[in-house]
Amino acid sequence: MRHLGEALAAAGYTDDGVAGLLGPVAHGALSRNEATPGLRATGDGSPLATLTRLWPLQAPVAAGALEAALPDLVPDLVDLGLLERSGGQVRALVDVRPHADGDREWWVLSDLTPGLDGHNLRVAAAHVLGISSASTSLARLTVRDRVDRALDLGTGCGVQALHLAAHAGEVVATDVNERALWLTRLNVELNAGHDGVDRIEVRRGNLYQPVQAEQFDLIVTNPPFVISPATEEPLVYRDSGLPGDEVVRRVVTGAPGHLRPGGRCQVLANWVIQRGRDWDERLAGWVAGSDCDVWAVQREVLDPAQYVELWLKDAGVHGTEEYPRRYDAWLAWFEEQGVGSVGFGWLNLHRTDRADPVLRFEEWPYDVEQPIGPEVTALGARVQLDRSLDDAALLASRLLARSDVRQETVGEPGAEDPERIVLRQQRGLRRARTVDTVEAGLVGACDGDLAVGQILDALGTLLGNDAEAMREGYLPVVRELLVEGYLTPGA
């Protein structure tokens, strides 16, 4: 497989190479599962065009052209079951796709992307998903600090394991799907020349069973989180076989026991939002008593009909005779279970072993800076700083307004006072916060020259407010501004 990587590199079959060959129109169409513009853009017969037609565009290619692009490799790839030769043509049985992240680039084998050019193909039960929006989101969420041991739980084709290998001394990748493990092992061989990839160990088993009593500095997982009645044949990459969001609950509740002190678990998942209950109630029950700080962010909410339509189409059932039956049965199950909607987002656990860990549950459906992993680390550091400062220390602190924070005012033109003042961050989570005049004045005055207490006293004098009342009323606000990153420690 390493020789395959050498041939792919020699042909220029990289993320930028494919994008440059296709051009923006055809590349954009391919992201929508449309191949026709790409076929028009890849007719020059070059090795790069041949490989792009073979894999991303899933078109048969002339055997001679492929042998020129992959010298002496085609028979071996046929024997491995990656290609099929018929007469003078060769077609792909699995996908091989370049995948880039900053200055690193890999090639990733997975099953072929279904639904190209509108073909409504049923997905096999053991289908192994390739590079997807979910895998990319988890990679961008992951904290990239150097660690000794990392676990990719439910590895699929091994995308997260490849990322982890760049900053972990040892990586364990697990899955229940034997086909997924086969493709992961091939990906390890294909990318063996990349930093740390040879330290990936692949194991078969469900959830934490393959690692039993072992502990890790970092656990990442995009589990099969689709919330369903578990009555149909599951698609292993998305259906756990467990009802509802039980698989996510087991991942979250099992994680603390497999984390070393200071370790993190990062999960991309769906969860049930029950009728009449706030979305965070269910998640808070999962993490209670875990000795972990928790930051959960709900990024999206779908109603039951939207959710069922999404995943039935994903399975290739849309437009078939069984679609109405399965749609109705799924909705009926949601009704029986009291499911009002389904949330999607991130769960970040950080083992701190504090008696009173910090639990943060936030809704933020807006665009964020990518990668967002550094903000996970930064938020944890800000929480620790806040916990270390008593009120006297906070009042004596000289804080700085973060340089990317901008103030927006809303109101009638010429009005003496604005109707609303918003502080908005340009980096990280890109938070926005509606504030009053005191908060706006406080943040504006935080330039490191005056202590927080001095600023509050000055604002109290300016507004005719009692100094003690100002300190008592706004110290909790200062803590929020500090934890949320609007204010940072001065020198």
- Residue 435's pLDDT is 96
- Residue 51's pLDDT is 98
Residues linked to residue 101 through DSSP beta bridges, in sequence order: 104
Integer-rounded Cα Rg, in Å, for the chain is 26
Using pLDDT thresholds of 50, 70 and 90, give the confidence band for residue 416: confident
Residues 6+ apart with CB under 8 A from 223: 153, 154, 240, 247, 248, 251, 267, 269
Please give the angle made by the CA atoms of 353, 145 and 215, to the nearest 5 degrees.
45
CATH fold of 133-381 reads Rossmann fold (3.40.50)
Taken in order 10, 16, 17, 18, the sign of the CA dihedral is positive
Q: Where are the beta strands (DSSP E) in 19-103?
A: 61-62, 83-86, 89-92, 95-101
Q: Give me the mean pLDDT over the 479-488 stretch.
A: 97
- Residue 316's pLDDT is 82
Using pLDDT thresholds of 50, 70 and 90, give the confidence band for residue 315: confident
Return d(Cα 240, Cα 105) in angstroms, integer: 31
Q: Which of 339-353, 412-426, 460-474 has the highest mean pLDDT?
A: 339-353
What token pair was written down for 59?
Answer: 């078109």
Q: Give me the mean pLDDT over the 387-394 stretch.
A: 96
Return d(Cα 53, Cα 43) in angstroms, integer: 9
* Of the listed ranges 7-16, 58-67, 187-196, the one predicted with least confidence: 187-196
Question: How many contiguous H segments (helices) and E segments (strands) does the chain have?
Answer: 18, 18
- With 90 as the cut, is the pLDDT of residue 120 above it? no
Return d(Cα 261, Cα 280) in angstroms, integer: 25
Return d(Cα 98, Cα 313) in angstroms, integer: 26
Q: Give me the mean pLDDT over the 165-194 stretch.
A: 96
Provide the Cα torsion 407, 409, 415, 417; round to 10°. Answer: -60
Pairing relation of β-strands 359-363 and 339-351? unpaired
Return d(Cα 309, Cα 306) in angstroms, integer: 5
- With 90 as the cut, is the pLDDT of residue 286 above it? yes
Q: Where are the beta strands (DSSP E) in 352-459?
A: 359-363, 399-401, 405-410, 420-425, 432-435
Task: Mark residue 18 as left, alpha or beta (left: phi above 0; alpha: psi -120 to 50; beta: remaining).
Answer: alpha
Return d(Cα 449, Cα 279) in angstroms, integer: 42
The DSSP output letter for 256 is G
Return d(Cα 113, Cα 360) in angstroms, integer: 37
CA distances from 17 to 91, 190, 376, 447 (A): 21, 18, 32, 47
Q: Give me the mean pLDDT over the 269-293 stretch.
A: 95
CA distances from 118 to 114, 311, 319 (A): 9, 16, 12
DSSP string, 208-227: TTTTTT--EEEEEE---B--
- With 90 as the cut, is the pLDDT of residue 117 above it? no
Q: Give me the mean pLDDT over the 124-135 stretch.
A: 93
Is residue 266 within 8 A of residue 219, CB to CB? The reply is yes
* N-to-C CA span, the chain: 53
Is residue 220 within 8 A of residue 152, CB to CB? The reply is yes
- With 90 as the cut, is the pLDDT of residue 39 above it? yes
Helix then strand then coil, % of the chain, to nearest 5: 40, 25, 35
Q: Give me the mean pLDDT over the 132-143 stretch.
A: 95
Provide the Cα torsion 440, 443, 447, 451; round to 10°. Answer: 110
Q: Give me the mean pLDDT over the 15-38 stretch.
A: 96
Is residue 33 within 8 A of residue 117, CB to CB? The reply is yes
Report pLDDT digits (tens) over 432-463: 999 999 999 999 999 999 999 999 999 999 98
Q: Where are the beta strands (DSSP E) in 81-187?
A: 83-86, 89-92, 95-101, 104-110, 147-153, 168-175
Return d(Cα 325, Cα 451) in angstroms, integer: 66
Read off the amino acid at residue 268. Answer: L
Percent of the chain with pLDDT over 90: 85
Q: Which of 226-230, 320-324, 441-445 has the highest mean pLDDT?
A: 441-445
What architecture (CATH level 2) is domain 389-489? Answer: Orthogonal Bundle (1.10)
Domain boundaries, the chain: 2-93, 133-381, 389-489
- With 80 as the cut, is the pLDDT of residue 44 above it? yes
CA proximity to 90, closest of 43, 50, 130: 50
Q: Give me the mean pLDDT over the 456-477 stretch.
A: 93
CB-count exposure of residue 414 (10 Å: 0-12, 13-18, 19+): exposed
- With 90 as the cut, is the pLDDT of residue 205 above it? yes
